[in-house]
Amino acid sequence: MKARTLPGAIGSTLPIFLTLAVAACASVGSLVAGQSSVDDVRRILGEPALSWRGPDGSQRLAYPRGPAGFQTLMVDLDATGQLRRVENVLDAAHFADVVPGMDKQQVLRLLGPSQPQWTIYFKARDELAWEWRYCDDWNSAARFDVLFDATREMVRSTLSIRESCNNDNCTCGR
């Protein structure tokens, strides 16, 4: 069977992209709860987009994989800097924790930052929408939106929709 090649820039960059994607997955897999340190996390994943300290000295680091990615990794470390866990928070279970009345900081700590190009303000409703791309339970590309009362900076509601597709391949490849 003859191998097919992809045209132009896609064909020349695909091997590089696949190598980086495999390396990124392998790197996250090399972090071990109870053994890896904050230095290991930063060496492997880089600097986080956001970080928080808990009252007990613990840390939470946010690593969004957007804008085209489907994950935001949250890394939880104990007070000594040892890794507790790494988890993708862009899923139905975490979205269910976003409820009306939460403030923006609570949402950030739960889901990490929305991509700036996916944030919009609706003046007539005084509403701010933050959006995250994720892979839904049916392996389809989808968007999760949190709608805030912009003045009070509190969650009004949430919604989730599948992305529109122009072909039969609407999966997000997980």
* pLDDT tens digits for range 23-70: 344 468 789 999 999 999 999 999 999 999 999 999 999 999 977 789
Note whether residue 167 is domain-resident. Answer: no
Residue 3 CB partners (closer than 8 Å, separation 6+): none
Q: What is the pLDDT of residue 20?
A: 35
Distance in angstroms (rounded) separating the CA atoms of residues 112 and 62: 6
Q: Is the pLDDT of residue 160 over 80?
A: yes
Per-residue confidence (pLDDT) for residue 33, from 0 to 100: 94
- Find the mean pLDDT for residues 105-122: 93
In a domain, 51, yes or no: yes
High-pLDDT (> 90) share of the chain, %: 68
Q: Are 114 and 130 in contact (CB under 8 A)?
A: yes
With respect to residue 152, please indicate whether it lies within any of the assigned structural domains: yes
Distance CA 6, CA 13 (A): 10
Please give the pLDDT value at position 117: 83
Q: Is residue 8 included in any domain, yes or no?
A: no
Summarised one tens digit per residue, pLDDT across range 69-106 is 899 999 999 999 999 999 999 999 999 999 999 999 99
The domain of 77 spans 32-162
Within 8 A by CB and 6+ apart from 22, the residues are none
**Residue 7 counted as domain residue:** no
Total structural domains in the chain? 1
- Does any domain span residue 66? yes
Domain contains 52: yes
